[in-house]
Amino acid sequence: MLAFLGQGIARAPFTAPSVRLNKGAHREKGLRVVSAIEIVELSKTFHGGRKALDAISLSIRPGEMVALIGASGSGKSTLLRHTTGLITADRNGETGAISVLGRVVQTQGRLASDVRAVRAEIGVISQQFNLVDRLSVLTNVLLGRLGRIPAWRGCLGLFNDAEKRAAMEALNRVHMGEYAMQRASTLSGGQQQRVAIARALVQKAQVILADEPIASLDPGSCHRVMETLADINKKDGITVMVSLHQVDYAIRYCPRTVAMRDGAVIFDGPSKALTADFLNDLYGAESEQLMLGQRPAASAAARTTESLPEGATAWAGA
Ligand SMILES: Nc1ncnc2c1ncn2[C@@H]1O[C@H](COP(=O)(O)OP(=O)(O)O)[C@@H](O)[C@H]1O
Ligand SMILES: [Mg+2]
């Protein structure tokens, strides 16, 4: 019965009808809502013949917060890197198209000529806290402006007052304002990820792609980073696609989950459908890799509903 149910959901069309969109998140173009991310039959074979992505199709609407789960090697990073246009798909005649906010990133193995403009709309957050260590937190956030200001001004570090104010606002938003003048290297992993989120806010990214942003953090920091992503998704309508190694966080923070195995999408639907039994059904023995063994602690759950203190000392240790 469960196997049947699993297959039924897994084979559903690439939509998640029960997923609720956040208010004001739709952008209308004529009568059609432009997808935030549209991927059509994307395949990737790396040198050596291994198929890392196998005809992936995916449609994510503006304002969605979507988890991408799967065991190590299932293709999550490869899919996200294609979406930012860092790598190109196979050219063997398959469609292999990706567009973000209605603008083509790549098609049939070729990047769009204006891919840089599309990239300016995409905030990227990676597992490796990609801040510049020796620069201040504030300067790191200002670097988010680089895609939007003349290169010479960015190179000289000539950010104007309005930009600095916006960077401070973004830092306050992620409860990192008090660290603005510190070097990035002095922050913990969780703090660095929140600064990376502030940088994406300053970039005015409409879409955030986060590749295992919590993979190397302690559980408390994991929750704070996921709460921050959920907050900007809800309040700013920023579309978030976040790859996660552990499904518990997907269930807790992302209304919709796309589950991958061996380069293919094997489930796309409401995260709450991902019970332990269903995961076992989808992944077999691999499912153990995807579960924490217990649901996030009640105390952590309570913290997400609290209003966060200004200056957030409680967050400072993350
Ligand atoms: N640059 C690369 N060259 C060759 N194989 C790669 C490369 N990047 C990823 N792969 C392979 O593609 C598959 C998917 O990898 P990846 O997207 O990193 O998975 P995940 O992020 O889910 O752990 C793996 O088998 C991996 O070894
Ligand atoms: Mg990865």
Mean per-residue pLDDT of the chain: 82
**Angstrom distance (rounded) from CA 39 to CA 265:** 12
Residue pLDDT, tens place only, 110-127: 999 999 999 999 999 999
Q: Which residue has the higher pLDDT, 18 or 200?
A: 200
Instruction: Give the closest residue (by CA) to ligand 1 atom 12.
Output: 52
Evaluate whether 223 touches 303 at the Cβ level (below 8 Å): yes
Q: Is 127 in the pocket of ligand 1 (CB under 6 A)?
A: no
Instruction: Give the closest residue (by CA) to ligand 1 atom 24.
Output: 73
Q: Is 78 in the pocket of ligand 1 (CB under 6 A)?
A: yes
Question: Smallest Cα–Cα separation from 240: which of 209, 268, 265, 213?
Answer: 209
Evaluate whether 273 touches 229 at the Cβ level (below 8 Å): no
What's the gap in Å between 41 CA and the centre of ligand 1? 18
Residue pLDDT, tens place only, 286-307: 888 888 654 433 333 333 333 3
Average pLDDT of span 32-49: 90
- What is the structure's pLDDT at 32? 60
Specify the range with the lowest mean pLDDT, choosing from 13-17, 91-95, 103-107, 160-164: 13-17
Kindly tell me if the per-residue pLDDT of 312 is higher than 80: no
The share of the chain scoring above pLDDT 90, in percent, equals 63
Q: Is 73 in the pocket of ligand 1 (CB under 6 A)?
A: yes
> Residue 211 CA: which ligand 1 atom is closest?
21
Quickly state the pLDDT bin for 154 (edges 50, 70, 90): low
Q: Is 76 in the pocket of ligand 1 (CB under 6 A)?
A: yes
Residue environment code for 22-38, b if the CB has 16+ CB neighbours within 10 A, otherwise e: beebebeeeeebbbbbb
Q: Which residue has the higher pLDDT, 299 or 130?
A: 130
In Å, how far are 228, 283, 284, 290 from 54, measured between CA atoms?
Answer: 32, 17, 20, 21
Question: Whats the size of the chain, residue-wise?
Answer: 318
Evaluate if pTM is beyond 0.85.
Answer: no
For the purposes of burial, counting CB atoms within 10 Å of the CB of 96, is it exposed (0-12), middle (13-18) or buried (19 or more)?
A: buried
Residue pLDDT, tens place only, 243-279: 998 899 999 999 999 999 999 999 999 999 998 888 8
- What is the structure's pLDDT at 24? 41
Evaluate whether 14 touches 60 at the Cβ level (below 8 Å): no
Q: Show the CA angle centred on residue 23, arms to residues 20 and 24, nearest 5°.
A: 130
- What is the structure's pLDDT at 149? 60
For the purposes of burial, counting CB atoms within 10 Å of the CB of 294, is it exposed (0-12), middle (13-18) or buried (19 or more)?
A: exposed
At which residue do the structure tokens 């969780």 appear? 190
Quickly state the pLDDT bin for 228 (edges 50, 70, 90): very high
**Angstrom distance (rounded) from CA 258 to CA 74:** 12
Q: Is 50 in the pocket of ligand 1 (CB under 6 A)?
A: yes
Average pLDDT of span 218-225: 94
Instruction: Give the closest residue (by CA) to ligand 1 atom 2.
Output: 46
Average pLDDT of span 132-156: 78
Average pLDDT of span 6-29: 39
Average pLDDT of span 160-166: 90
Q: Which residue has the higher pLDDT, 160 or 67?
A: 67
- What is the structure's pLDDT at 47? 86
- What is the structure's pLDDT at 284? 85
Q: Is 207 in the pocket of ligand 1 (CB under 6 A)?
A: no
**Angstrom distance (rounded) from CA 318 to CA 314:** 9
Q: Which of 45, 78, 290 to mutate to test the pocket of ligand 1 (most atoms within 8 A of CB)?
A: 78
Kindly tell me if the per-residue pLDDT of 214 is higher than 60: yes
Question: Smallest Cα–Cα separation from 177: which of 167, 189, 188, 185?
Answer: 167
Q: Which residue has the higher pLDDT, 302 or 312?
A: 302
**Angstrom distance (rounded) from CA 279 to CA 67:** 14
What's the gap in Å between 212 CA and the centre of ligand 2? 7
The share of the chain scoring above pLDDT 70, in percent, equals 77
139 by DSSP, 3-state: which? helix
Quickly state the pLDDT bin for 203 (edges 50, 70, 90): very high
Q: Is 262 in the pocket of ligand 1 (CB under 6 A)?
A: no
Ligand nearest to the CA of 70: 1
